[in-house]
Amino acid sequence: MPERITLDRSSPLPLWAQVIERLRPEIGSGRYDETFPSEHDLMARFGVSRHTIREALRRLESEGLLVRRRGKGTFVNRPEFRQDLGTLYSLFRTIEAQGVEQRSRVLELRLTEAPTVAERLELPADEVFVYLRRIRYAGDEPLALDEAWLPAECADPLLDADFERTALYDELERRCGIVPIAGSETIEPVVASAEECALLGVPPGTAVLALERKTRTVDRTLEWRRTLLRGDRFRFVAEWSTGVPPRPQLTVSA
């Protein structure tokens, strides 16, 4: 059981709100992913009534952080993000369209040479790229580790962009007047390195989804991207159809 907490009963902040202030970051850290404390345990920890705990849990449930099931208890609600395949998409827009705030922490934004990337994009080995490395967050929790390389010849203005709360393709269009029109992706499971696991907030040795993307404009290759996505929070969906219309049914009337 976590440490006993004494709430400030002289504070204008209601006791249930103080309980929420303590529980919300603990929920976000993954502390209760396996088991969430019972009402009795929370009453003992915070020294408050059942009514106060129930009000705090009710509000956390309304925020989408918890789900309560009659006869089974309370559980942390981990939203799963869905992305349809077969289309050019922005992770930023995918997350925000599902009602969750997206933000990024930029680890690197600089010019660099990358012969391996240049080969993949069929460019000269000494091509200079704008390199962007970010941790992508959904709410307060890491969702993806994202790396992108774009030729500096056309993408140099991106060096002045603040990518904390914006999408790469939005900035590319606004600052460079460039819009990718086509591309290809491969997705496969890989075991993330120790550093990558730490950045994604998952245990060492965790398998993640590795996405590699190549995009192009009307007249040139544009981008090479590698993204590691947490498989416990993200899934790709493909819909298909044979394109064959229903076979006419023969009906016989008497």
Residues 97 and 65 in one domain: no
H helix intervals, the chain: 15-28, 39-46, 50-62, 91-97, 115-120, 152-155, 168-176, 194-200
Please check whether residue 167 lies inside any domain of the structure.
Answer: yes
Burial of 125 (0-12, 13-18, 19+ CB in 10 A): exposed
Where residue 20 sits, what CATH number does that domain have?
1.10.10.10
Residues 212 and 96 in one domain: yes
Q: What is the pLDDT of residues 151-181, one digit of tens each?
A: 999 999 999 999 998 889 999 999 999 999 8
The two counts, helices (H) then strands (E), for the chain are: 8, 10
State the distance between the two ends of the chain, measured CA to CA, in whole angstroms.
Answer: 76
Residue type for position 53: I
Tokens encoding 138: 């959904």
- For residue 72, the tally of other CB atoms under 10 A from its CB is 8
Residues 90 and 50 in one domain: no
Domain closes at, from 76, 105, 124: 76
Please check whether residue 215 lies inside any domain of the structure.
Answer: yes
pLDDT, residue 76, reads 82
Nearest in space to 173 (alpha carbons), one of 191, 192, 150: 150
Which residue range forms the structural domain that includes residue 70?
Answer: 15-76
Residues 157 and 225 in one domain: yes
Residues 165 and 181 in one domain: yes
pLDDT, residue 252, reads 35
CB under 8 Å to 14, separation ≥6 — which residues? none
pLDDT, residue 93, reads 63
What distance in Å separates the CA atoms of residue 140 and residue 100, rounded to the nearest whole number? 10
| Contact indicator for 175, 130 with CB cutoff of 8 Å | no
Is residue 187 within a helix (H) or strand (E), and if so which, with residue range?
Answer: strand 182-191
Q: For the chain, how big is the Rg over CA atoms in Å?
A: 24
Residues 49 and 173 in one domain: no
pLDDT truncated to tens, each residue of the chain (254 aa)?
567 889 999 999 999 999 998 898 788 667 888 889 999 999 999 999 999 999 999 988 876 678 888 778 888 876 555 555 555 556 666 666 656 677 899 999 999 999 999 999 999 999 999 999 999 988 778 889 999 999 999 999 999 999 998 889 999 999 999 999 888 888 888 999 999 999 998 888 888 889 999 999 988 899 999 999 887 776 666 666 666 555 544 333 32
pLDDT, residue 113, reads 97
Residues 133 and 229 in one domain: yes
Q: Model's pTM, two decimal places?
A: 0.62
Domain closes at, from 76, 92, 122: 76
Residues 137 and 187 in one domain: yes
Please check whether residue 135 lies inside any domain of the structure.
Answer: yes
pLDDT, residue 32, reads 86
Number of domains into which the chain is organized:
2
Q: Specify the 3-state DSSP secondary structure of 142.
A: strand
Please check whether residue 108 lies inside any domain of the structure.
Answer: yes
Q: What is the pLDDT of residues 188-226, one digit of tens each?
A: 889 999 999 999 988 888 888 899 999 999 888 999 999
Residues 53 and 85 in one domain: no
Please check whether residue 211 lies inside any domain of the structure.
Answer: yes
Where residue 148 sits, what CATH number does that domain have?
3.40.1410.10
Please check whether residue 249 lies inside any domain of the structure.
Answer: no
What distance in Å separates the CA atoms of residue 139 and residue 96, rounded to the nearest whole number? 10
Residues 59 and 175 in one domain: no
CB under 8 Å to 123, separation ≥6 — which residues? 151, 221
Domain closes at, from 76, 98, 114: 76
Please check whether residue 57 lies inside any domain of the structure.
Answer: yes
Please check whether residue 248 lies inside any domain of the structure.
Answer: no
| Contact indicator for 234, 144 with CB cutoff of 8 Å | yes
Residues 164 and 220 in one domain: yes
Residues 49 and 137 in one domain: no
